[in-house]
Chains A and B, each alone.
Chain A
Amino acid sequence: MWEEMKMDSSVFVMGEDIGAYGGAFKVTEGFLDEFGEDRVIDTPISEAAIVGAAIGAAHMGLKPICEMQFIDFIGSAFDIIVNFAAKVRYRTGVGAGIVIRGPCGAGGRAGPFHSQNVESYFANVAGLKMVAPATVSDAKGLLKSAIRDPDPVLFFEHKFLYRRLKDDLPADTDFVVPLGQARTHREGSDLTIVTYGAMLYTVEQAADRLAEEEGVKVEILDLRTLRPLDVDAITASVRKTGRLLIVHEAPSFGGFAGEITAQVCEKAFEWLDAPIRRVAALDTPVPYAAPLEDAHLPAVDDVLATARGQLAY
């Protein structure tokens, strides 16, 4: 964001506690001093107002980046996102080039209102883009693309990864990762696992164990962008392996895995040698108590059990 703000003076940030406080997760620490009050705006506690103001600013030619302090609070802005931001280009010809970013995801014992993954709430809405990076370089490259994108982009940063991932970035500070493109995280031949966000690391562990214990080569596909979905990457991988497993942290019912399953059945049914399966969280609110949260979330053993079922089919 810093680089984008330096390069383009129309880019600005707004959100709760992002200025003086530097943000609940310190994402915007130092921004206020560097860019000033006009471009680092501490807002009142009203997500609807944040997004509404952002859309207005976008219509005036600016490039706002809204922060939802916890992505769970995006519900308060649901109407303005779905009924305005997503549809305004369709209705008026003038798009809302805003980014709405925020920390999503569970694992930190933060309870039901600070741990959700909200992609399914918006999946059905034409006019929105949704991004969920899993690696450091993807996070940077995709955010740049999102900021430059003329359409509303929801940008989900998994809070569990905020401090846990550290990586070297490419020297080219202006590298962007285009939206709508999945990335093959690991090549394989026996089973394709499609995932995104923090689940990438759970999937990695499961794939390591399958390779070690059973000589199985899992191909891991990191979606990176959820909408638009890179279904071609998925079907290409299914053609290679014949087996598909989808893993996401959001609960199972109505989750993204259902959409992917339907699309793969439409486009690559003849290439399947086993049923498509998914591993996702239980259909409950995210529990606060540690053992309950662990039971709620998909674990490495869950992925292993399901994968083994498919491999043995």
Chain B
Amino acid sequence: MGESITEGTLTRWIIAVGETVDRDEDLFEISTDKVDADIPSPAAGVLAEVLVNEGATVEINTIVARIETDANEFSASSDSGGQPIVDTAPIPVEPADLSSPSPQKAAKQPVEMVPMGQKERLRTRSTPLVRKIAMEHGIDIGVIVGTGANGRVTRDDILAYIEAKKTSGGELVTVQETVTTATSRPTTPPIETPSTLVPPTATGSIRVPIHGATLDIKLGSVPIRENDRVEPMSRVRLRTMEHMLMSKRVSAHVTSVNEIDFERVVRLRRSMKAKFSEHGVKLTYAPFIYRAVIEALREYPILNASVDGTRIVYHANINLGIAVALNDGTELIVPVLKDADHLSLLGLAQGVNELAEKARSKTLDFDDIQGGTFTITNVGVFGNLFGMPIINQPQVAILGTGVIEKRPVVMEDAMGNDVIAIRHRAYFGLSYDHRVVDGAMAAFFLNKVQDCLENFPEETG
């Protein structure tokens, strides 16, 4: 399923209880963050028992059914990526009722049949040292916020908890925002692999992991009035929320804006449209923009880089992330056009159309959404003049392209007189990370994009 997937929703049982199923025959359907899949049965036999109902969301490695084979019982689990099948208690995605944050222990849910899983154990039983300290002070490890792997309570966490209890005389005082930069925690793996998503706890705080530190934000409780509608966030929304917060904290966001004259591109597109549709490809403005961006990235590779601690990683490949809005604008996904610099205009057009189609039909695979080095978001498609987008980590820049529309523009005619012309124009907003890209560099980049678009060569596609 992929390293980053931690849970999924069982959408449909294909085989009913009591029916026989062959080995590798499709048994049930699941839906995860990005992808829907049919799961084949690991063994032949009779579906004896269904443990997870349609519509339920469970963590990976949850046992979802039992199949009786001739030899012995065999359990089908929701993820068999070569991992040992470990029983886990399903953790509900819906957070507790926000209006009354009663201190519940998020880890301890009434468990019916399956014993504690590894992640659970780590959260509630931690390590020998932490258990020892907890026992000496009569503390339940489950009430402490853990900053270790999988939310584990570390030695530093429990010692800090004890200190805080001492200084506040009993009741633990939660500071509004505590950034725990654990000196004992070195650089975590690059942000590309999404961190463990911790749903908001009952006490209404969220944790955002950033480069080895974690940011604990205590939220005030939101007033919910009579006719308000409360909806738990979807997985995709939670992921997006976490990413956006983290990105703003990690990068020093600045936006620079240029206005591009699109007259030439408009003309070129008109003249090339027919030829492209002979190849079955709809030609939009996008491929022209991508070509220009690629040229500019080649000339200013710092915009195609990542920050790794105190090092800058200049990526050899140019993999363009293309933001796509889904579900009536309620969801955002960024498929990646790999090695875009190796594609012709036709290749770019085909590539982007393909990705968009896959995104809309939810048939993207994990490879399609990994490895981006620069992202382009088309805020203009909805009519916006320009945007100041948030950088897609771990990249260092994102280009928001505004609406292409006709505007009156002052230009000089052949004799040097000022005239007003009607031209197609668009604002391009480049948000960049001022940690490694300064204003001048951003300007050079944007100017290059502008230059490429305004002087786009006649191409045979």
Contacts and interface: CB of A to CB of B under 8 A. Distances in A.
Contact of A242 (B129, B149, B187): B129
Contact of A312 (B131, B183, B186): B186
A153 B441 CA distance: 67
A273 B149 contact: no
Nearest to B311: A213
B155 A273 contact: yes
B309 interface: yes
A5 interface: no
B338 interface: no
Contacts of B131: 270
Contacts of A271: 128-129, 132
Interface in B125-159: 127-132, 148-149, 152, 154-155
Given A213-B309, A273-B154, A273-B155, A311 B128 contact: no
Interface of B is mostly: loop
A274 interface: yes
A214 B308 CA distance: 13
A216 interface: yes
Contact of B128 (A190, A270, A307, A308): A270
A39 B178 CA distance: 72
A9 to B, nearest CB: 55
Nearest to B152: A313
A272 B155 CA distance: 9
B435 interface: no
A210 interface: yes
Nearest to B130: A273
Given A213-B309, A242-B155, A313-B149, A270 B129 contact: yes
B176 interface: no
A312 B128 contact: no
A242 B184 CA distance: 11
A215 B185 CA distance: 9
A311 B185 contact: yes
A215 B183 contact: yes
B188 interface: yes
B183 A308 contact: no
A312 B185 contact: yes
A273 B156 CA distance: 10
A122 interface: no
A210 B309 CA distance: 13
A269 interface: yes
Given A272-B128, A272-B129, A313-B149, A214 B155 contact: no
Interface residues of B, number: 20
A308 B132 contact: no
B155 A312 contact: no
A216 B128 contact: no
B184 A190 contact: yes
B129 A216 contact: no
A166 to B, nearest CB: 33
A273 B155 CA distance: 7
A272 B186 contact: no
A200 B322 CA distance: 50
A216 B183 contact: yes
B55 to A, nearest CB: 36
User: Which of A271, A273, A312 lies at the interface centre, i.e. has the most chain B CB atoms within 10 A of its CB?
Assistant: A273
Nearest to B188: A312
A213 B310 CA distance: 9
B184 A311 contact: yes
Interface in A191-246: 191, 210, 213-216, 242
Contacts of A272: 127-129
A138 B266 CA distance: 79
Interface in B163-188: 183-188
Interface in B297-324: 309-310
Interface in B357-386: none
A206 to B, nearest CB: 11
Given A242-B155, A313-B148, A313-B152, A214 B130 contact: no
A270 B126 CA distance: 11
Contacts of B212: 214, 312
A57 B188 CA distance: 60
Given A270-B132, A271-B128, A308 B155 contact: no
Contacts of A308: 186-187
Nearest to B132: A270
A269 to B, nearest CB: 5
Interface string A297-313: 00000000001100111
A112 to B, nearest CB: 34
Contacts of A274: 127
Given A269-B128, A272-B128, A216 B152 contact: no
A230 B447 CA distance: 67
Nearest to B154: A273
A199 B129 CA distance: 29
B127 A214 contact: no
Interface in A180-194: 190-191
Nearest to A214: B186
B212 to A, nearest CB: 8
Interface string B39-62: 000000000000000000000000
Nearest to A308: B186
A217 to B, nearest CB: 9
B135 to A, nearest CB: 9
Contacts of A216: 183-184, 186
A287 to B, nearest CB: 30
A270 B128 CA distance: 5
Contacts of A269: 128
Nearest to A243: B184
Contacts of B186: 210, 213-214, 216, 307-308, 311-312
Interface of B: 127-132, 148-149, 152, 154-155, 183-188, 212, 309-310
Please provide the 4 A-B residue pairs with the shortest distance between their CB atoms, ordered closest to farther.
A214-B186, A273-B129, A270-B132, A273-B155
Interface of A: 190-191, 210, 213-216, 242, 269-274, 307-308, 311-313
17 contacts: A210-B186, A213-B187, A213-B309, A214-B185, A214-B212, A216-B183, A216-B184, A216-B186, A242-B155, A270-B128, A271-B132, A272-B128, A308-B186, A311-B184, A311-B185, A311-B186, A313-B152
Given A274-B127, A313-B154, 15 more contacts: A190-B184, A213-B186, A213-B309, A214-B186, A216-B183, A216-B184, A216-B186, A242-B155, A270-B132, A272-B129, A273-B127, A273-B129, A311-B184, A312-B212, A313-B152
